[in-house]
Amino acid sequence: MVSRPRRHPLVPLTLLLSVLLIAMFAQTPFLTLAAFAGAVLYLATAGRSALTRRGVLGYLILWTLVAVTNPLFSTGGATPIVFVNGRPYTREALLYGIHLGGMLISVLLWFRCESFLVSDENRFFLFGRIAPKSALLISTVLRFVPLLRRRAEARGGAPTAGGG
């Protein structure tokens, strides 16, 4: 696991918010690919449990599902590939589905990076003065997610959803 250097917690939070905003709202495939690659590279260096084969497989399945189903709901485009129930399955909608899936996966991966960059204490430090009860509740809930996952794995059960 990556050791957290001593720094003000606003620094990683600013980084995360800026990357998330770019990944969510930039409609450029290059920026989506850069956000995805950055999250994968960070998780690959963060430790053994950060990015597992099972997690990668889950993300790829979600990406494929979004890419394949987008043309079923959005029929915009000029180049039909096939007709499904009389509706065109277009190349442009498929490409946009691939881009949309990449956006979704990169945002999910950056939220996974957040758990390595910002500790529970830092989260409470940042939001404790603004909304102390909410900060305590959020810190407690976010602390129990990995704890419950470890307990489920220790009992021989499958870990909870989230690709972990």
Residue 164 has pLDDT above 50, yes or no: no
Residue 74 has pLDDT above 50, yes or no: yes
Question: Residue 1: which pLDDT band, with cuts at 50, 70 and 90?
Answer: low
Q: In this predicted structure, what is the pLDDT of residue 158?
A: 59
Q: What b/e readout covers 68-91, taking b as 16+ CB neighbours within 10 angstroms? A: eebbeeeeebeebeeeeeeebbbe
Task: Give bridge partners of residue 83 from the DSSP assignment.
Answer: 88
Residue 53 has pLDDT above 90, yes or no: no
Residue 159 has pLDDT above 80, yes or no: no
Q: In this predicted structure, what is the pLDDT of residue 97?
A: 94
Distance CA 112, CA 120 (A): 14
Read off the pLDDT of residues 114-157 as tens digits, 9 standing for 90 and up: 878 877 677 777 777 788 888 778 777 777 877 887 888 888 76
